[in-house]
């Protein structure tokens, strides 16, 4: 009989511990959701999961599989609690044991424009193809597969004479895969990439972020079985592929227009013009970085993203912007040794930013590590200083680097000018 009491006591203790842990976990999850709502960060940027409550059993498999911690379990059902961090890689959908999750574009309140494309990834404009994130596919594996399949369709375009069989715009997973397929099929190709690095959106992931969760098939390379892999390891793999295959990429070359001409298209960039029978658009949805349009912005010391805070140790750095990316950049740089950081924002207050970033910024500002300049405007960027209009006066500040975090200009208007048609998705596939 004593054994029965002992067993019962153990069972009760385990249940109490389990229920207590579940309540604490749910409390933290609810806090994250409430912070997102308070910060106005409730709209996912692109492809994202929706949960069928009639199928969800609340196992938490989806939340555990999500590297961004975008999902949580509340009252026994999975919920998108950190929508702004979701990047749509679909690890949650794969992990769900009851198939309660599907990936969609847009929400009831915010539509996302997705271009019309055929099963062969050709748009309504014959000869122009779209693959990857621009077409709404954020999954790395599927983006790479789309790039490969798009080139299969490009091969069938035999009409017209041009310098290149295909010009590929963007070198994310879709663009790299398309380039490899072009080499395999002996096509004359040209890849242009507006940034100075390959990898597309993956390059902008946080350090050690899990970037891929499924195998991918690449021309020349074959089937690559990654499972889960960090951003750094994946980028190293892409760089190895480029070196091994001799894939040619024109970095820091931005596509500015596409014109129809006899025999195909004329792709105009900021560095030249190229005639092509077909064009494959494989750039991301972030678009071209929004610029300040001030004298000196063309300087080599101006960047539009933060990749490694440690490179700014010992420097005077100006960060421009009022969103989470600007605050996070300023905070991380201020944590480096002997840095002098200015955060400039044109409005009178930060809006739609995480409470955690507000708190960290206030702490760094009180510690004298960051100078916050609201209602300020950058006037000129010089080699060793910047001129900023602040409190009604223009003043000079020592400066070694400028990081502009002002968002991006989506390529939609440019593509619509070409004639590509879009459909607006409101929470649909």
- Report yes or no on 60 lying in a domain: yes
CATH at residue 36: 3.30.70.20
From 104, 127, 148, give the residue that closes a domain: 104
Q: Are residues 126 and 201 in the same domain?
A: yes
From 47, 80, 104, give the residue that closes a domain: 104
Parallel, antiparallel or unpaired: strands 222-224 and 273-281: unpaired
- Report yes or no on 91 lying in a domain: yes
From 104, 122, 144, give the residue that closes a domain: 104
Q: Are residues 131 and 92 in the same domain?
A: no
Contact yes or no for 39/83 (Cβ under 8 A)? no
Predicted TM-score (pTM) of the model is: 0.69
- Report yes or no on 297 lying in a domain: no
CATH at residue 197: 3.50.50.60
- Report yes or no on 144 lying in a domain: yes
- Report yes or no on 53 lying in a domain: yes
Q: Are residues 118 and 213 in the same domain?
A: yes
Q: Are residues 144 and 276 in the same domain?
A: yes
Q: Are residues 326 and 269 in the same domain?
A: no
Residue-level pLDDT at 205? 55
- Report yes or no on 180 lying in a domain: yes
Distances in Å between the Cα of 107 and the Cα atoms of 103, 408, 424 are: 11, 21, 10
Q: Are residues 341 and 395 in the same domain?
A: yes
Phi and psi angles of residue 376, each rounded to the nearest 5 degrees, phi first: -120, 160
Residue-level pLDDT at 424? 78
Domain hosting 32: range is 2-104
Q: Are residues 133 and 255 in the same domain?
A: yes
- Report yes or no on 17 lying in a domain: yes
Q: Are residues 121 and 191 in the same domain?
A: yes
Residues paired with 217 in a beta bridge: 223
How is 261-312 classified by DSSP, letter by letter?
ETTEEEEEESS-EEEEEEEEE---SS-EEPP---TTTTSTTEESS-S-GGGG
3-state secondary structure of 228: coil
Contact yes or no for 199/177 (Cβ under 8 A)? no
Residue-level pLDDT at 385? 96
Q: Are residues 188 and 323 in the same domain?
A: no
- The count of structural domains within the chain is 3
- Report yes or no on 294 lying in a domain: no
Contact yes or no for 172/200 (Cβ under 8 A)? yes
pLDDT by residue for the chain (429 residues), tens digit each? 566 766 766 777 767 666 666 677 778 888 888 877 776 667 777 778 889 999 999 888 898 888 778 888 888 898 888 887 776 767 788 889 999 998 888 787 777 777 888 889 999 999 999 998 777 665 677 888 899 999 999 998 877 788 999 999 998 889 999 999 999 999 999 999 987 777 666 655 555 555 555 677 889 988 887 666 666 777 888 889 899 999 999 988 989 899 999 889 999 998 999 999 999 999 876 667 788 999 999 898 998 888 788 999 999 999 999 988 899 999 999 999 999 999 999 999 887 787 888 899 999 999 999 999 999 999 999 999 999 999 889 999 999 999 999 877 777 788 888 888 887 777 676
Q: Are residues 283 and 320 in the same domain?
A: no
Distances in Å between the Cα of 4 and the Cα atoms of 8, 15, 103 are: 6, 16, 49
Q: Are residues 262 and 368 in the same domain?
A: no
Q: Are residues 276 and 332 in the same domain?
A: no
């Amino acid at each position: 009989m004593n054994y029965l009491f002992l067993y019962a006591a153990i069972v009760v203790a385990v249940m109490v511990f389990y229920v207590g842990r579940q309540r604490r976990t749910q409390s933290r999850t609810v806090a994250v959701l409430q912070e997102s709502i308070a910060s106005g960060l409730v709209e996912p940027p692109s492809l994202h999961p929706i949960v069928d409550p009639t199928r969800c059993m609340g196992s938490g498999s989806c939340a555990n599989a999500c590297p961004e911690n975008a999902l949580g379990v509340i009252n026994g059902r999975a919920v998108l609690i950190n929508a702004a961090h979701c990047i749509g890689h679909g690890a949650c959908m794969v992990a769900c044991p009851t198939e309660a999750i599907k990936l969609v574009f847009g929400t009831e309140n915010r539509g996302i424009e997705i271009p019309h494309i055929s099963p062969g990834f050709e748009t309504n404009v014959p000869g122009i193809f779209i693959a990857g994130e621009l077409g709404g596919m954020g999954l790395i594996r599927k983006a790479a597969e789309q790039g490969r399949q798009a080139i299969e369709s490009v091969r069938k375009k035999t009409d017209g004479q041009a310098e290149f069989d295909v010009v590929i715009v963007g070198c994310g997973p879709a663009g790299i895969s398309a380039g490899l397929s072009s080499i395999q099929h002996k096509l004359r190709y040209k890849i242009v990439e507006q940034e100075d690095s390959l990898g597309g959106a993956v390059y902008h992931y946080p350090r050690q972020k899990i970037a891929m969760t499924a195998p991918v098939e690449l021309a020349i390379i074959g089937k690559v079985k990654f499972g889960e892999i960090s951003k750094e390891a994946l980028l190293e793999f892409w760089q190895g592929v480029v070196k091994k295959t001799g894939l040619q990429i024109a970095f820091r070359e931005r596509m500015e227009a596409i014109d129809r001409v006899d025999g195909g298209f004329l792709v105009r960039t900021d560095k030249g013009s190229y005639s092509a029978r077909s064009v494959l658009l494989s750039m991301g949805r972030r678009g071209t970085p929004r610029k300040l349009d001030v004298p000196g912005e063309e300087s080599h010391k101006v960047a539009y993203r933060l990749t490694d805070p440690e490179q700014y140790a010992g420097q005077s750095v100006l960060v421009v912007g009022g969103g989470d990316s600007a605050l996070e950049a300023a905070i991380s740089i201020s944590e480096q040794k002997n840095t002098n950081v200015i955060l400039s924002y044109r409005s009178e207050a930060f809006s739609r930013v995480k409470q955690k970033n507000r708190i960290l910024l206030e702490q760094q500002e009180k510690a004298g590590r960051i100078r916050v300049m609201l209602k300020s405007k950058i006037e000129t960027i010089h080699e060793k200083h910047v001129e900023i209009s602040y409190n009604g006066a223009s003043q000079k500040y020592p400066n070694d680097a400028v990081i502009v975090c002002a968002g991006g200009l989506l390529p939609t208007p440019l593509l619509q000018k070409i004639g590509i048609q879009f459909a607006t998705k409101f929470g649909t596939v």
